[in-house]
A and B are shown apart, each in its own frame.
Chain A
Amino acid sequence: MLNVEGKDIHQSSQGWIPVYPDASQSLAVMSIAFLLNRRDDPIVWRGPKKNAMIKQFLSDVVWGELDYLIIDTPPGTSDEHITVVESLQEYNPDGAILVTTPQAVAVGDVRRELTFCRKTKLPVLGVIENMSGFVCPHCSECSNVFSKGGGEALAREFEIPFLGCVPLDPQLARCLEQGQSYVDAFPSSPSSQVLHKIAESLHQRTTINGLPS
Protein backbone atom coordinates (compact mmCIF):
# COMPACT_ATOMS: atom_id res chain seq x y z
CA MET A 1 0.00 0.00 0.00
CA LEU A 2 2.92 2.33 0.57
CA ASN A 3 4.74 1.19 -2.57
CA VAL A 4 7.51 -0.54 -0.65
CA GLU A 5 6.65 -4.12 -1.58
CA GLY A 6 9.69 -6.23 -2.35
CA LYS A 7 12.04 -3.95 -0.39
CA ASP A 8 14.36 -5.45 2.19
CA ILE A 9 15.25 -4.20 5.61
CA HIS A 10 18.89 -3.66 6.39
CA GLN A 11 20.69 -4.49 9.55
CA SER A 12 23.00 -1.89 11.04
CA SER A 13 25.05 -1.99 14.19
CA GLN A 14 22.21 -0.18 16.00
CA GLY A 15 19.48 -2.48 14.73
CA TRP A 16 17.06 -2.84 11.83
CA ILE A 17 16.78 0.09 9.46
CA PRO A 18 13.16 0.71 8.45
CA VAL A 19 12.16 1.07 4.80
CA TYR A 20 11.58 4.58 3.43
CA PRO A 21 9.04 4.96 0.59
CA ASP A 22 10.58 8.19 -0.69
CA ALA A 23 13.77 10.20 -0.70
CA SER A 24 12.63 12.72 1.91
CA GLN A 25 12.67 9.93 4.50
CA SER A 26 9.85 11.59 6.40
CA LEU A 27 7.97 8.30 6.46
CA ALA A 28 9.51 5.06 7.72
CA VAL A 29 7.90 1.66 7.51
CA MET A 30 8.47 -1.70 9.17
CA SER A 31 6.52 -4.84 8.35
CA ILE A 32 6.91 -8.58 8.52
CA ALA A 33 6.39 -8.61 4.75
CA PHE A 34 9.92 -7.21 4.33
CA LEU A 35 11.24 -10.42 5.86
CA LEU A 36 9.52 -12.69 3.34
CA ASN A 37 11.29 -14.06 0.32
CA ARG A 38 8.23 -14.23 -1.88
CA ARG A 39 4.96 -12.36 -1.86
CA ASP A 40 2.95 -15.57 -1.47
CA ASP A 41 4.98 -16.95 1.45
CA PRO A 42 2.61 -17.39 4.37
CA ILE A 43 3.58 -16.81 7.97
CA VAL A 44 2.00 -19.68 9.82
CA TRP A 45 2.89 -18.83 13.40
CA ARG A 46 1.22 -19.32 16.70
CA GLY A 47 1.06 -16.54 19.28
CA PRO A 48 4.47 -16.89 20.98
CA LYS A 49 6.38 -16.48 17.73
CA LYS A 50 4.25 -13.52 16.72
CA ASN A 51 4.82 -11.96 20.13
CA ALA A 52 8.58 -12.41 19.85
CA MET A 53 8.52 -10.75 16.43
CA ILE A 54 6.45 -7.82 17.70
CA LYS A 55 8.81 -7.30 20.62
CA GLN A 56 11.72 -7.36 18.22
CA PHE A 57 10.02 -4.79 16.02
CA LEU A 58 9.50 -2.56 19.03
CA SER A 59 12.98 -2.95 20.47
CA ASP A 60 15.30 -3.47 17.52
CA VAL A 61 14.15 -1.02 14.84
CA VAL A 62 16.18 2.18 14.50
CA TRP A 63 13.40 4.67 13.91
CA GLY A 64 15.50 7.73 14.55
CA GLU A 65 13.59 10.86 15.59
CA LEU A 66 9.87 10.33 15.03
CA ASP A 67 6.92 12.54 15.80
CA TYR A 68 4.40 9.77 15.41
CA LEU A 69 4.64 6.01 15.37
CA ILE A 70 1.44 4.49 13.98
CA ILE A 71 0.93 0.81 14.70
CA ASP A 72 -1.47 -1.12 12.48
CA THR A 73 -2.92 -4.25 14.09
CA PRO A 74 -4.90 -7.28 12.93
CA PRO A 75 -8.54 -7.60 14.01
CA GLY A 76 -9.35 -8.97 17.44
CA THR A 77 -8.21 -8.74 21.03
CA SER A 78 -5.53 -11.37 21.23
CA ASP A 79 -1.78 -11.95 21.19
CA GLU A 80 -0.75 -9.05 18.97
CA HIS A 81 -2.86 -6.51 20.86
CA ILE A 82 -1.92 -7.72 24.31
CA THR A 83 1.78 -7.77 23.41
CA VAL A 84 1.79 -4.31 21.84
CA VAL A 85 -0.06 -2.74 24.75
CA GLU A 86 2.10 -4.48 27.35
CA SER A 87 5.31 -3.53 25.58
CA LEU A 88 4.30 0.12 25.15
CA GLN A 89 2.91 0.61 28.64
CA GLU A 90 6.01 2.26 30.08
CA TYR A 91 6.23 4.63 27.10
CA ASN A 92 2.79 6.20 27.59
CA PRO A 93 1.13 5.57 24.24
CA ASP A 94 -1.11 8.48 23.20
CA GLY A 95 -3.95 6.12 22.57
CA ALA A 96 -5.83 3.99 20.10
CA ILE A 97 -7.86 4.88 17.02
CA LEU A 98 -10.73 2.47 16.47
CA VAL A 99 -11.75 1.92 12.86
CA THR A 100 -15.14 0.49 12.00
CA THR A 101 -17.37 0.20 8.99
CA PRO A 102 -20.98 1.27 9.45
CA GLN A 103 -22.64 -2.14 9.74
CA ALA A 104 -23.82 -3.37 13.12
CA VAL A 105 -21.66 -6.48 12.72
CA ALA A 106 -18.51 -4.37 12.42
CA VAL A 107 -19.57 -2.01 15.19
CA GLY A 108 -20.07 -5.07 17.41
CA ASP A 109 -16.40 -5.96 17.02
CA VAL A 110 -15.36 -2.41 17.84
CA ARG A 111 -17.44 -2.49 21.05
CA ARG A 112 -15.28 -5.40 22.17
CA GLU A 113 -12.15 -3.52 21.10
CA LEU A 114 -13.33 -0.63 23.24
CA THR A 115 -13.66 -2.92 26.22
CA PHE A 116 -10.12 -4.08 25.52
CA CYS A 117 -8.89 -0.47 25.65
CA ARG A 118 -10.70 0.16 28.91
CA LYS A 119 -9.37 -3.00 30.54
CA THR A 120 -5.80 -2.33 29.44
CA LYS A 121 -6.10 1.39 30.30
CA LEU A 122 -5.25 2.42 26.77
CA PRO A 123 -6.78 5.84 26.04
CA VAL A 124 -9.16 6.00 23.06
CA LEU A 125 -8.39 8.85 20.67
CA GLY A 126 -11.58 8.29 18.75
CA VAL A 127 -13.63 6.28 16.30
CA ILE A 128 -13.49 6.48 12.50
CA GLU A 129 -16.31 5.20 10.31
CA ASN A 130 -14.68 3.91 7.15
CA MET A 131 -16.43 2.87 3.90
CA SER A 132 -19.21 5.17 4.92
CA GLY A 133 -21.33 5.69 1.81
CA PHE A 134 -20.24 5.35 -1.82
CA VAL A 135 -20.32 8.21 -4.27
CA CYS A 136 -21.07 6.74 -7.69
CA PRO A 137 -18.48 8.03 -10.19
CA HIS A 138 -21.13 8.02 -12.95
CA CYS A 139 -24.08 9.76 -11.38
CA SER A 140 -22.56 11.26 -8.21
CA GLU A 141 -25.35 9.79 -6.17
CA CYS A 142 -24.26 8.59 -2.76
CA SER A 143 -25.45 5.12 -1.83
CA ASN A 144 -24.81 3.64 1.57
CA VAL A 145 -23.34 0.32 0.52
CA PHE A 146 -22.62 -0.64 4.10
CA SER A 147 -25.32 1.51 5.70
CA LYS A 148 -24.24 4.57 7.65
CA GLY A 149 -23.97 6.07 11.08
CA GLY A 150 -22.96 3.02 13.14
CA GLY A 151 -19.61 4.47 14.14
CA GLU A 152 -21.01 7.82 15.11
CA ALA A 153 -23.76 6.25 17.22
CA LEU A 154 -21.17 4.11 18.97
CA ALA A 155 -18.98 7.12 19.75
CA ARG A 156 -21.96 8.95 21.21
CA GLU A 157 -23.00 5.98 23.31
CA PHE A 158 -19.54 5.50 24.79
CA GLU A 159 -18.77 9.22 25.01
CA ILE A 160 -15.61 9.02 22.96
CA PRO A 161 -14.61 11.42 20.17
CA PHE A 162 -16.00 10.69 16.71
CA LEU A 163 -13.25 11.52 14.23
CA GLY A 164 -15.20 11.34 11.00
CA CYS A 165 -16.83 9.33 8.20
CA VAL A 166 -14.55 8.35 5.31
CA PRO A 167 -16.65 7.57 2.21
CA LEU A 168 -15.82 4.64 -0.07
CA ASP A 169 -13.85 5.89 -3.05
CA PRO A 170 -12.68 3.50 -5.79
CA GLN A 171 -9.71 5.83 -6.36
CA LEU A 172 -8.56 5.21 -2.81
CA ALA A 173 -8.50 1.45 -3.31
CA ARG A 174 -6.69 1.92 -6.60
CA CYS A 175 -4.06 4.20 -5.04
CA LEU A 176 -3.47 1.71 -2.23
CA GLU A 177 -3.01 -1.15 -4.64
CA GLN A 178 -0.52 0.89 -6.66
CA GLY A 179 1.18 2.22 -3.55
CA GLN A 180 0.37 5.85 -4.37
CA SER A 181 -0.53 8.49 -1.86
CA TYR A 182 -4.25 9.04 -2.24
CA VAL A 183 -4.30 12.35 -0.38
CA ASP A 184 -1.61 13.70 -2.72
CA ALA A 185 -3.21 12.31 -5.89
CA PHE A 186 -6.78 13.41 -5.13
CA PRO A 187 -6.46 16.22 -2.59
CA SER A 188 -9.90 17.68 -3.25
CA SER A 189 -11.90 14.46 -3.06
CA PRO A 190 -14.36 14.17 -0.15
CA SER A 191 -12.42 11.27 1.38
CA SER A 192 -9.12 13.18 1.25
CA GLN A 193 -10.69 16.16 2.93
CA VAL A 194 -12.06 14.04 5.74
CA LEU A 195 -8.72 12.25 6.15
CA HIS A 196 -6.97 15.62 6.36
CA LYS A 197 -9.40 16.82 8.98
CA ILE A 198 -8.92 13.66 11.01
CA ALA A 199 -5.13 13.93 10.86
CA GLU A 200 -5.33 17.60 11.77
CA SER A 201 -7.53 17.00 14.78
CA LEU A 202 -5.42 14.07 16.00
CA HIS A 203 -2.30 16.20 15.64
CA GLN A 204 -3.89 19.03 17.59
CA ARG A 205 -5.17 16.81 20.36
CA THR A 206 -1.93 14.91 20.85
CA THR A 207 0.04 18.16 20.80
CA ILE A 208 -2.18 19.93 23.30
CA ASN A 209 -1.71 16.99 25.61
CA GLY A 210 1.92 18.07 25.62
CA LEU A 211 3.34 15.00 23.96
CA PRO A 212 4.95 15.46 20.54
CA SER A 213 5.70 18.94 19.26
Chain B
Amino acid sequence: MGSGHRDCPGTESEDAGKASACEGCPNQNICASSKAKGPDPDIAVIKERLSSVKHKILVLSGKGGVGKTTFTSMLARGLAQSEDLQIGVLDVDICGPSIPRVMGLDGEQVHQSGSGWSPVFVEDNLGVMSAGFLLGSPDDAIIWRGPKKNGLIKQFLRDVDWEDVDFLIIDTPPGTSDEHLSLVQYLQNANIDGAVVITTPQNESQIFPPTTGGVEQMADEMKVPFLGKLPLDPRIGKCCDEGTSFFEEFSDSPAAKAYQHIITGN
Protein backbone atom coordinates (compact mmCIF):
# COMPACT_ATOMS: atom_id res chain seq x y z
CA MET B 1 0.00 0.00 0.00
CA GLY B 2 1.85 3.07 -1.19
CA SER B 3 -0.49 5.65 0.33
CA GLY B 4 1.42 8.54 1.84
CA HIS B 5 -1.29 9.01 4.44
CA ARG B 6 -0.36 5.75 5.99
CA ASP B 7 2.80 7.12 7.57
CA CYS B 8 1.37 10.49 8.58
CA PRO B 9 3.00 11.25 11.93
CA GLY B 10 -0.09 13.14 13.16
CA THR B 11 -0.41 16.83 13.84
CA GLU B 12 0.66 16.56 17.46
CA SER B 13 3.90 14.73 16.67
CA GLU B 14 7.38 16.25 16.84
CA ASP B 15 7.78 15.20 13.22
CA ALA B 16 4.60 16.90 12.02
CA GLY B 17 5.31 18.30 8.57
CA LYS B 18 8.88 17.02 8.68
CA ALA B 19 8.59 13.26 8.20
CA SER B 20 9.33 11.78 4.79
CA ALA B 21 5.63 10.92 4.45
CA CYS B 22 4.79 14.64 4.73
CA GLU B 23 6.45 15.49 1.45
CA GLY B 24 3.87 16.47 -1.10
CA CYS B 25 1.04 16.51 1.44
CA PRO B 26 -1.12 19.62 1.00
CA ASN B 27 -1.07 20.21 4.75
CA GLN B 28 2.69 19.98 5.10
CA ASN B 29 3.22 23.70 5.68
CA ILE B 30 0.48 23.98 8.27
CA CYS B 31 1.83 20.99 10.19
CA ALA B 32 5.43 22.17 9.97
CA SER B 33 4.51 25.64 11.24
CA SER B 34 3.17 23.94 14.39
CA LYS B 35 -0.09 25.83 13.98
CA ALA B 36 -1.89 22.51 14.05
CA LYS B 37 -0.07 21.40 17.17
CA GLY B 38 -1.38 21.47 20.68
CA PRO B 39 -4.67 20.20 21.96
CA ASP B 40 -7.87 21.47 20.41
CA PRO B 41 -9.09 24.33 22.65
CA ASP B 42 -12.66 23.19 22.03
CA ILE B 43 -12.04 19.99 23.99
CA ALA B 44 -12.00 22.01 27.21
CA VAL B 45 -15.13 23.91 26.13
CA ILE B 46 -16.90 20.61 25.45
CA LYS B 47 -15.85 19.27 28.84
CA GLU B 48 -17.31 22.34 30.49
CA ARG B 49 -20.52 22.17 28.44
CA LEU B 50 -21.04 18.49 29.24
CA SER B 51 -20.21 18.84 32.92
CA SER B 52 -23.95 18.87 33.57
CA VAL B 53 -24.32 15.50 31.83
CA LYS B 54 -23.81 12.65 34.28
CA HIS B 55 -23.45 9.64 31.97
CA LYS B 56 -22.48 9.42 28.34
CA ILE B 57 -23.12 6.21 26.41
CA LEU B 58 -22.15 5.54 22.79
CA VAL B 59 -24.13 3.10 20.66
CA LEU B 60 -21.95 1.46 17.99
CA SER B 61 -22.03 -1.31 15.40
CA GLY B 62 -19.92 -2.60 12.55
CA LYS B 63 -22.68 -3.00 9.99
CA GLY B 64 -25.66 -0.91 9.02
CA GLY B 65 -29.19 -2.06 9.65
CA VAL B 66 -28.53 -4.04 12.82
CA GLY B 67 -30.64 -1.83 15.06
CA LYS B 68 -28.48 0.89 16.60
CA THR B 69 -31.10 3.55 16.20
CA THR B 70 -33.87 1.25 17.36
CA PHE B 71 -31.85 0.34 20.43
CA THR B 72 -30.93 3.98 21.09
CA SER B 73 -34.56 5.01 20.99
CA MET B 74 -35.68 2.10 23.17
CA LEU B 75 -32.92 2.75 25.70
CA ALA B 76 -33.81 6.43 25.83
CA ARG B 77 -37.54 5.82 26.14
CA GLY B 78 -36.97 3.04 28.66
CA LEU B 79 -34.83 5.25 30.87
CA ALA B 80 -37.22 8.16 30.47
CA GLN B 81 -40.00 6.08 32.01
CA SER B 82 -38.44 7.08 35.33
CA GLU B 83 -39.70 10.60 35.66
CA ASP B 84 -36.85 11.59 37.92
CA LEU B 85 -34.31 10.92 35.18
CA GLN B 86 -33.44 13.44 32.48
CA ILE B 87 -32.40 11.86 29.16
CA GLY B 88 -30.68 13.28 26.08
CA VAL B 89 -30.24 11.60 22.69
CA LEU B 90 -27.59 12.85 20.29
CA ASP B 91 -27.70 11.49 16.73
CA VAL B 92 -24.29 11.81 15.06
CA ASP B 93 -25.28 9.83 11.97
CA ILE B 94 -24.96 13.05 10.00
CA CYS B 95 -25.70 11.59 6.56
CA GLY B 96 -28.42 9.16 7.66
CA PRO B 97 -30.30 10.74 10.56
CA SER B 98 -33.17 8.38 11.48
CA ILE B 99 -33.58 9.40 15.11
CA PRO B 100 -36.11 12.19 14.40
CA ARG B 101 -38.56 9.78 12.77
CA VAL B 102 -38.09 7.05 15.36
CA MET B 103 -38.68 9.52 18.19
CA GLY B 104 -41.74 10.98 16.48
CA LEU B 105 -40.04 14.30 15.73
CA ASP B 106 -40.09 14.33 11.91
CA GLY B 107 -40.09 17.85 10.53
CA GLU B 108 -39.00 19.52 13.78
CA GLN B 109 -36.37 22.24 13.67
CA VAL B 110 -33.63 23.24 16.06
CA HIS B 111 -34.15 26.41 18.09
CA GLN B 112 -31.40 28.74 19.00
CA SER B 113 -31.35 30.36 22.41
CA GLY B 114 -28.90 32.60 24.19
CA SER B 115 -27.22 29.59 25.74
CA GLY B 116 -26.91 27.53 22.56
CA TRP B 117 -28.99 25.14 20.48
CA SER B 118 -32.02 23.78 22.30
CA PRO B 119 -32.75 20.07 21.93
CA VAL B 120 -36.15 19.03 20.61
CA PHE B 121 -38.22 17.38 23.35
CA VAL B 122 -40.22 14.16 22.99
CA GLU B 123 -41.31 14.42 26.59
CA ASP B 124 -40.36 16.74 29.42
CA ASN B 125 -37.45 14.51 30.37
CA LEU B 126 -36.34 13.35 26.90
CA GLY B 127 -34.50 15.77 24.59
CA VAL B 128 -33.08 14.99 21.15
CA MET B 129 -30.53 16.56 18.79
CA SER B 130 -29.98 15.38 15.22
CA ALA B 131 -28.72 16.63 11.87
CA GLY B 132 -32.21 15.74 10.67
CA PHE B 133 -33.53 18.84 12.47
CA LEU B 134 -31.33 21.01 10.25
CA LEU B 135 -32.87 19.75 7.01
CA GLY B 136 -35.68 21.44 5.14
CA SER B 137 -37.32 18.28 3.77
CA PRO B 138 -37.06 14.50 4.25
CA ASP B 139 -35.48 14.26 0.80
CA ASP B 140 -32.63 16.62 1.59
CA ALA B 141 -29.30 14.82 1.63
CA ILE B 142 -26.27 15.89 3.58
CA ILE B 143 -23.50 15.13 1.11
CA TRP B 144 -20.47 15.86 3.23
CA ARG B 145 -17.00 14.48 3.57
CA GLY B 146 -15.42 13.81 6.97
CA PRO B 147 -14.19 17.26 7.99
CA LYS B 148 -17.62 18.87 7.61
CA LYS B 149 -19.27 16.06 9.52
CA ASN B 150 -16.68 16.46 12.26
CA GLY B 151 -17.41 20.18 12.38
CA LEU B 152 -21.10 19.56 12.99
CA ILE B 153 -20.39 16.87 15.59
CA LYS B 154 -18.18 19.32 17.43
CA GLN B 155 -20.93 21.91 17.28
CA PHE B 156 -23.43 19.39 18.66
CA LEU B 157 -21.13 18.63 21.58
CA ARG B 158 -20.08 22.21 22.22
CA ASP B 159 -23.20 24.22 21.47
CA VAL B 160 -26.23 22.14 22.46
CA ASP B 161 -27.70 23.31 25.71
CA TRP B 162 -28.59 19.98 27.34
CA GLU B 163 -28.87 21.46 30.85
CA ASP B 164 -28.89 18.80 33.59
CA VAL B 165 -29.01 15.37 32.01
CA ASP B 166 -28.56 11.99 33.69
CA PHE B 167 -27.92 10.01 30.52
CA LEU B 168 -26.76 11.26 27.14
CA ILE B 169 -27.09 8.46 24.59
CA ILE B 170 -25.13 8.99 21.41
CA ASP B 171 -26.27 7.11 18.30
CA THR B 172 -23.55 6.69 15.67
CA PRO B 173 -23.39 5.60 12.03
CA PRO B 174 -21.96 2.13 11.33
CA GLY B 175 -18.21 1.67 11.20
CA THR B 176 -15.05 3.02 12.78
CA SER B 177 -14.33 6.25 10.96
CA ASP B 178 -14.56 10.02 11.21
CA GLU B 179 -17.62 10.27 13.43
CA HIS B 180 -16.33 7.73 15.94
CA LEU B 181 -12.80 9.08 16.02
CA SER B 182 -14.06 12.63 16.44
CA LEU B 183 -16.46 11.70 19.22
CA VAL B 184 -13.76 9.98 21.19
CA GLN B 185 -11.32 12.79 20.50
CA TYR B 186 -13.71 15.59 21.45
CA LEU B 187 -14.97 13.73 24.51
CA GLN B 188 -11.51 12.68 25.73
CA ASN B 189 -11.78 14.85 28.85
CA ALA B 190 -15.53 14.56 29.28
CA ASN B 191 -15.59 10.96 30.58
CA ILE B 192 -17.50 8.61 28.31
CA ASP B 193 -19.04 5.85 30.44
CA GLY B 194 -18.68 3.39 27.62
CA ALA B 195 -20.08 1.97 24.41
CA VAL B 196 -22.87 -0.48 23.70
CA VAL B 197 -22.11 -2.57 20.62
CA ILE B 198 -25.10 -3.88 18.69
CA THR B 199 -25.03 -6.85 16.37
CA THR B 200 -27.21 -9.52 14.81
CA PRO B 201 -27.98 -12.41 14.80
CA GLN B 202 -29.24 -14.03 17.94
CA ASN B 203 -28.29 -17.56 18.75
CA GLU B 204 -31.60 -19.27 18.19
CA SER B 205 -32.63 -16.95 15.40
CA GLN B 206 -34.53 -18.63 12.62
CA ILE B 207 -34.60 -15.55 10.45
CA PHE B 208 -30.92 -14.63 10.68
CA PRO B 209 -29.27 -17.92 11.63
CA PRO B 210 -25.78 -17.59 13.10
CA THR B 211 -22.97 -19.89 12.04
CA THR B 212 -20.12 -18.51 14.09
CA GLY B 213 -21.25 -19.50 17.55
CA GLY B 214 -23.14 -16.27 17.89
CA VAL B 215 -22.68 -13.13 19.86
CA GLU B 216 -22.33 -14.67 23.31
CA GLN B 217 -19.27 -16.56 22.21
CA MET B 218 -17.80 -13.44 20.66
CA ALA B 219 -18.39 -11.43 23.84
CA ASP B 220 -16.77 -14.22 25.81
CA GLU B 221 -13.75 -14.34 23.49
CA MET B 222 -13.28 -10.61 23.53
CA LYS B 223 -13.94 -10.38 27.27
CA VAL B 224 -16.75 -7.87 27.09
CA PRO B 225 -20.03 -8.23 29.00
CA PHE B 226 -22.90 -9.70 27.01
CA LEU B 227 -25.90 -7.54 27.82
CA GLY B 228 -28.64 -9.67 26.38
CA LYS B 229 -30.63 -10.75 23.37
CA LEU B 230 -33.39 -8.69 21.86
CA PRO B 231 -36.00 -10.53 19.79
CA LEU B 232 -37.32 -9.30 16.47
CA ASP B 233 -40.84 -8.03 16.93
CA PRO B 234 -42.51 -6.50 13.87
CA ARG B 235 -44.35 -4.14 16.19
CA ILE B 236 -41.04 -2.50 17.22
CA GLY B 237 -40.36 -1.65 13.58
CA LYS B 238 -43.86 -0.31 13.28
CA CYS B 239 -43.53 1.86 16.39
CA CYS B 240 -40.19 3.19 15.08
CA ASP B 241 -41.78 4.03 11.73
CA GLU B 242 -44.61 5.82 13.47
CA GLY B 243 -42.41 7.42 16.11
CA THR B 244 -44.42 5.99 18.98
CA SER B 245 -43.23 4.33 22.18
CA PHE B 246 -43.19 0.54 22.02
CA PHE B 247 -43.01 0.41 25.82
CA GLU B 248 -46.24 2.31 26.17
CA GLU B 249 -48.09 0.40 23.46
CA PHE B 250 -46.87 -3.14 24.12
CA SER B 251 -45.53 -3.09 27.66
CA ASP B 252 -46.28 -6.77 28.28
CA SER B 253 -44.58 -8.13 25.16
CA PRO B 254 -41.50 -10.36 25.46
CA ALA B 255 -39.48 -7.79 23.50
CA ALA B 256 -40.41 -4.97 25.89
CA LYS B 257 -39.42 -7.15 28.80
CA ALA B 258 -36.10 -8.04 27.17
CA TYR B 259 -35.35 -4.34 26.68
CA GLN B 260 -36.39 -3.56 30.25
CA HIS B 261 -34.03 -6.24 31.47
CA ILE B 262 -31.07 -4.74 29.63
CA ILE B 263 -31.93 -1.20 30.65
CA THR B 264 -32.80 -1.67 34.31
CA GLY B 265 -31.43 -5.13 35.12
CA ASN B 266 -34.88 -6.23 36.29
A105 CB–B CB distance under 8 Å: yes
Known: A105-B101, A108-B101, A109-B96. A170 touches B237 (CB 8 A): no
Known: A115-B141, A170-B207, A173-B201. A53 touches B146 (CB 8 A): no
Task: Identify which of residues 50-75 in chain A touch chain B, using a CB-to-CB cut-off of 8 Å.
Answer: 50-53, 56, 74-75
Question: In the docked arrangement, what's the CA distance between A166 and B80, Å?
Answer: 37
Known: A76-B96, A111-B139. A143 touches B181 (CB 8 A): no
The answer to whether B98 touches A74, judged by C-beta atoms less than 8 angstroms apart, is no
- 0/1 interface trace, chain B 1-38, chain A, CB 8 Å (1 if under): 11111100000000000000000000000000000000
Interface size on A, residues (CB 8 A): 51
A75 partner, pick from B6, B147, B173, beta carbons under 8 A:
B173
The answer to whether B177 touches A45, judged by C-beta atoms less than 8 angstroms apart, is yes
- 0/1 interface trace, chain B 145-183, chain A, CB 8 Å (1 if under): 111010000000000000000000000011111101100
Task: Identify which of residues 169-211 in chain B touch chain A, using a CB-to-CB cut-off of 8 Å.
Answer: 173-178, 180-181, 201, 206-211
Interface size on B, residues (CB 8 A): 51
B144 contacts across to A, CB distance below 8 A: 77-78
A119 CB–B CB distance under 8 Å: yes
B256 CB–A CB distance under 8 Å: no
Q: How close is A183's CB to chain B, nearest CB, in angstroms?
A: 18
Q: How close is A115's CB to chain B, nearest CB, in angstroms?
A: 4
A40 contacts across to B, CB distance below 8 A: 222
B93 contacts across to A, CB distance below 8 A: 76
Known: A74-B175, A75-B174. A104 touches B211 (CB 8 A): no
The answer to whether B146 touches A115, judged by C-beta atoms less than 8 angstroms apart, is no
Number of A-B contacts (CB under 8 A): 136
The answer to whether B240 touches A105, judged by C-beta atoms less than 8 angstroms apart, is yes
A205 CB–B CB distance under 8 Å: no
The answer to whether A50 touches B141, judged by C-beta atoms less than 8 angstroms apart, is no
Which of the candidate stretches A23-31, A144-152, A186-194 sits at the interface with the other chain? Answer: A144-152
B224 CB–A CB distance under 8 Å: no
Which residues of B line the A interface, CB within 8 A? 1-6, 64-65, 69, 93-96, 98, 101-102, 138-147, 149, 173-178, 180-181, 201, 206-212, 222, 232, 234, 237-238, 240-242
A-B residue pairs in contact (CB < 8 Å), sample of 16: A48-B146, A52-B5, A53-B3, A77-B95, A81-B143, A101-B65, A105-B240, A108-B98, A109-B98, A112-B96, A115-B141, A116-B141, A120-B143, A143-B234, A146-B234, A147-B237
